Structure 1
Amino acid sequence: MTSKRPPPFFIADHPGLDFLNSIAVPVDIKVEWLASGEDLLAWLKQAGLVPDEVLNAFRKSALPGELDAVAAQARALRDWFKPFVHKHMGGAIEPNALRQLKPLNQLLARDDEFGQIAVRDRPNKRGHNHEGVSGLVWRRRRRWQSPESLLLPLARSLADLVCTEDFTYVKACEGPDCTLLFIDRTRSRARRWCSMAVCGNRAKQAAHRKRAQQARRRSR
């Protein structure tokens, strides 16, 4: 990784889109946040998709080049799925789109996931939360059999995206060079930018310069 590289973006309001945004043009140059195995571990940690102890275990136990190979598979998954999003965003996904997702289902079929009873977050002293429901909860767990299992939470995030989100509100930033995607969860559904502090501010500055140029021409 390079110290000059900006931190990855988590502005999409969905982990599946954040994964697609792991390559982007935040300023003028395309940036790849999954260029290596260590990059992948760092990104998964920031995304909160894999427990720290799992990432640390693979960092210690993986064979030379093994994590780099998994990162390459993650990039291939991302680059394969992104055109699907661009094709379907702006409208509801129809059932016949399932045919296009066969490779994703094949990857998901590798998952070795199970569930367990665990303590609910912040139970009170009597073992019940304030709403009166049980202090125990059903939680999903996964057996992390090999470094390739790091692909499974990524695949799951993409599956969740297509199964639970209305693609009518999946948008691309309107910045001229920006490639970031997001879900518009604003009440008016009027979000246009990945971030008002980045592309939104650039658009305001560009509009201001244009108005100033027009004013100068009119004053001549």
Structure 2
Amino acid sequence: MPDLRPAPFFIADDRALDFLNSIASPAGAPIEWIADGRDLLDWMVAAGLLPAEVAARYRAEAVLDELDSVAARARALREWFRGLMAAHAGRPAEPALAAEIEPLNRLLRRDIRHREIGLAEAGAGAEAGQGVLRWRDIRQFATPDSLLAPLAEVMGDLLCRRDLTLVRPCEGGGCTLWFFDASKRHGRRWCSMAACGNRAKAAAHRSRQRPNLRCD
């Protein structure tokens, strides 16, 4: 059966918020892009969180029930993080936040990684004055459960490296998408101007054009 869903949204300027947006209601009804284990692999490859060759190995070797179970855990992690963002986005991070992120640390403690040295990509090494070698971080995807570690890591990056005052939900009516406001003046209000921004402008225009009826 063909997949009738649109491509997932990567409009948030942050991968953790893109993960929140892996369920959304662009046309009214919610669309889930991580409905099962294969969806999780597809989304992570599209997000740049999983090498395509690793995803292919999981598809060929992993038990589908195990992948589906991890996808269910990923959805639960996503909704836990949505609650965290709803509570803390839009204001500076406070020390008390550290006590709430143990679910991420539990996942990160199981992560297996190492570093190795390899050639820099063309145009990114010697031409930039940094030599021809570079470090590469290699994550060991030993089990389906390992898929949760990159998700926890991007959430940690958001919490540790981003200004939470610039994490915002879209102001579009009924829109459930989140974004990081990386605009120059930090005035972004919409998930995208092509969608909610234009709809809001059109609604404002109609409101201004509506005749002012009076009953005398």
Same fold (TM over 0.5): yes
CA distance in 1, matches of 2:2, 2:197: 27
Do residues 55 (structure 1) and 55 (structure 2) align? yes
Query: Which residue of the partner structure matches residue 178 of structure 1?
Result: 175
Contact 2:89/2:164 (8 A) holds in 1:
yes
Partner-residue secondary structure (3-state), 1:117 = strand
Q: 2:111 is matched by which residue type in structure 1? A: D
CA distance in 2, matches of 1:2, 1:78: 26
Do residues 158 (structure 1) and 155 (structure 2) align? yes
Do residues 74 (structure 1) and 62 (structure 2) align? no
- RMSD between superposed Cα atoms in Å: 1.7
Q: 2:182 is matched by which residue type in structure 1? A: R
Q: How does 1:42-191 map to 2 (within 5 A)?
A: 42-122=42-122, 129-191=126-188
Contact 1:8/1:33 (8 A) holds in 2:
yes
Query: Which residue of the partner structure matches residue 217 of structure 1?
Result: 213
The runs of at least 4 aligned residues of structure 1 exceeding 4 Å deviation read: none
CA distance in 2, matches of 1:7, 1:36: 16
Q: 2:9 is matched by which residue type in structure 1? A: F
Q: 1:118 is matched by which residue type in structure 2? A: G
Long gaps (5+) in structure 2 = none
Q: 2:174 is matched by which residue type in structure 1? A: D
Contact 1:123/1:135 (8 A) holds in 2:
no
Q: TM-score, normalised by structure 1?
A: 0.92
1:44-97: CA deviations, max 9, x gaps? 111011000100000010113111111101001001111111111111211221
Partner-residue secondary structure (3-state), 2:173 = coil
Q: 1:55 is matched by which residue type in structure 2? A: A
Do residues 206 (structure 1) and 199 (structure 2) align? no
Contact 2:22/2:34 (8 A) holds in 1:
yes
The CA deviation at 1:19 is: 0.5
Residues 180 and 123 (structure 1), Cα distance of their counterparts in 2 relative to 1, 3 Å cut:
closer
CA distance in 1, matches of 2:129, 2:193: 41
Residues 25 and 2 (structure 1), Cα distance of their counterparts in 2 relative to 1, 3 Å cut:
farther
- What is the identity percentage for the equivalent residue pairs of Structure 1 and Structure 2? 49
Partner-residue secondary structure (3-state), 1:186 = coil
CA distance in 2, matches of 1:98, 1:28: 36
The CA deviation at 1:133 is: 2.2
1:114-136: CA deviations, max 9, x gaps? 11111111159xxx612432210
Residues 206 and 98 (structure 1), Cα distance of their counterparts in 2 relative to 1, 3 Å cut:
same
Contact 1:116/1:140 (8 A) holds in 2:
yes
Residues 2 and 194 (structure 1), Cα distance of their counterparts in 2 relative to 1, 3 Å cut:
farther
Partner-residue secondary structure (3-state), 1:139 = strand
Partner-residue secondary structure (3-state), 1:217 = coil
The CA deviation at 1:205 is: 1.6
CA distance in 1, matches of 2:59, 2:94: 40
CA distance in 1, matches of 2:21, 2:123: 36
